Amino acid sequence: MNQYKKITSEDLEYLKSFIPPENLFYGDQISEDYAHDELSEVKSYPEVLIKVRNQDEIVKIMEYAYENTIPVVTRGSGTGLVGAAVALYGGIMIETTQMNRILELDRENLTVTVEPGVLLMELSKFVEENGFLYPPDPGEKSATIGGNISTNAGGMRAVKYGVTRDYVRGLTVVLSNGEVLELGGKVVKNSSGYSLKDLIVGAEGTLGIITKAVLKLLPLPAKSVSLLIPYEDVDSAIKTVPEIIMSKSMPTAIEFMERDTILFSEDFLGKRFPDTKSPAYLLLTFDGSSRQQVEQEYEAAAMLCLERGAKDCFIVDTEERKDSVWGARGAFLEAIKASTTQMDECDVVVPRNKVAEFILFSHQLSKELNIRIPSFGHAGDGNMHVYICRDDLDEETWKKKLDEAFDKMYRKAEELSGQVSGEHGIGYAKRAYLKDSLGDKAIELMRGIKLTFDPKNILNPGKIF
């Protein structure tokens, strides 16, 4: 395995025969950006970078790569955090951002059909202008939809609406040998054999290359209001979350944030947050068809929070207020990154009633290892983002502490019946933890699936397991 062919001038000549020069880069022409993803923990250059424009180009590339056993990595905007879009074995990198057309809005079937390079922010803007909602709402709005599907991205509205997988109706995929397959479609129900479409979702480019996606839409709720709820301590903030869920109110989002993280984002954005007087906050969003309906729902949740020790509930109702609160929330990752010299992340998901325990554990761990571990996340769906910051540690101490912190956190997540990744994926960085978590049998089944889809192991090799 992994005896891949190195790119030769002959290969380049062939690729040049159907890829225009402005879309084909090799050797020194490839920018350093393409050697890593957003977290930059693993670095490796592809030998050739191709900015593809259509499915035909991908088919031709894959036919050639298959025949010559050249590894191929697909990349969107490069906003991943686990090294999934890094070309570990060189070869060809297919970059999809020029395949960014929104192909069809089907009002009768409530679907939108897009190419993989459409950015999440472009997609949500387009559908909202047309009165629809594409519910998945990951923090990184400049990610491509292809990337979102490949990691089964989650985001802020998962509590009420679920994750990307729940909104993928159909996919067109180029397989490792260049064959094109249409999976799923505009149908609402589908009990027709194994759901191959759902295997592609979250496969991080290891099973096929997505060239088209049919996504499910919902009617756009007329009204949406958020509540920013301050608490005297982290514990009482997080402990309210399962009670909110239990009260059967349906917030679209329940986010948890600590003052330190908010202060980093203030520094990072150069903008003040509306309230930083409390150590911990919950941020809830409610949506609905009328103001009265939304008001009724959030007032009930607010009363519950106040009874459980919230200091107040602040109303985030206008565009300006939403910008000041959600703008900061959207910048948390970048802000923490800017606050330190290097960092690594843990994106575990635990059952929702265990979030408090996990966060408190990460606080203890921070004290025990004497290392900064800020966190924030989707408290309502149990998915936390925990960051281990290097600050001024030397290389050796950093590696040692990072390994220890990761080991302990993943073990804790396991103990709480959690999973290794909630939404960022496994990529390169989390493989060992996935193996520990799932066990040999599950990994063996995954390898079998991979072999069936990609017998030569040329699609994004070295990832997931």
Nearest distance in Å: CB 203, other proteins: 39
With CB under 8 A as the contact rule, which of the stretches 170-178, 267-275, 420-428, 448-456 interacts with other proteins? 267-275
258: left (phi over 0), alpha (psi -120 to 50) or beta: beta
Task: Compose the 300-329 pattern: x for residues touching other proteins by CB under 8 A, - for all others.
Answer: --xx--x-----xxxxxxxxxx--xx----
Residues 318/324/326/328 CA torsion (nearest 10 deg): 180
Spell out, one character per residue from 204 to 243, where the chain touches other proteins: x when CB under 8 A holds, - when not: -----------------------xx---------------
Q: Is 260 in the site for other proteins (CB under 8 A)?
A: no
The answer to whether residue 101 forms part of the interface with other proteins (CB under 8 A) is: no
456 membership: H or E segment, kind and range: none
CB atoms within 10 A of CB 3: 5
Backbone torsions φ then ψ of 193, nearest 5 degrees: 80, -170
* Residue closer to other proteins, measured from CB, 222 or 246: 222
Residue 337 CB, shortest distance to other proteins, in Å, is 23
x-or-dash string of contact with other proteins, 284-303, rule CB under 8 A: -------x------xx--xx
Shorter beta-carbon distance to other proteins: residue 173 or 313: 313
Among 35, 34, 47, 44, CA closest to 5 = 47
Beta strands in 192-347 (DSSP E): 209-216, 218-219, 223-231, 253-258, 280-288, 314-316, 343-346
Q: Binding residue for other proteins (CB under 8 A) from 272, 399, 400, 447?
A: 272
**Please, what is the minimum distance in Å from the beta carbon of residue 2 to other proteins?**
45
DSSP, res 342: -
* Total residues binding other proteins (CB under 8 A): 25
What is d(CA 240, CA 280) in angstroms, rounded to the nearest whole number? Answer: 12
Min. distance of Cβ 160 from other proteins in angstroms?
20
How far are the Cα atoms of 55, 91, 149, 170 from residue 180, in angstroms, in the given order?
9, 21, 18, 13
Nearer to other proteins, 291 or 447 (CB): 291
Residue 345's closest CA among 395, 397, 409?
409
Stretch of residues binding other proteins (CB under 8 A), selected from 111-119, 158-166, 268-276, 423-431:
268-276
Closer CB to other proteins, residue 185 or residue 309? 309
Give the SS3 label for residue 113: strand
With CB under 8 A as the contact rule, which of the stretches 23-31, 165-173, 188-196, 265-273 interacts with other proteins?
Answer: 265-273
C-alpha–C-alpha distance, residues 177 and 6, integer Å: 18
| E strand or H helix at 329 | helix 319-330
Q: In the complex with other proteins, which residue's Cβ is closer, 272 or 447?
A: 272
Residue ranges binding other proteins (CB under 8 A): 227-228, 271-275, 291, 298-299, 302-303, 306, 312-321, 324-325
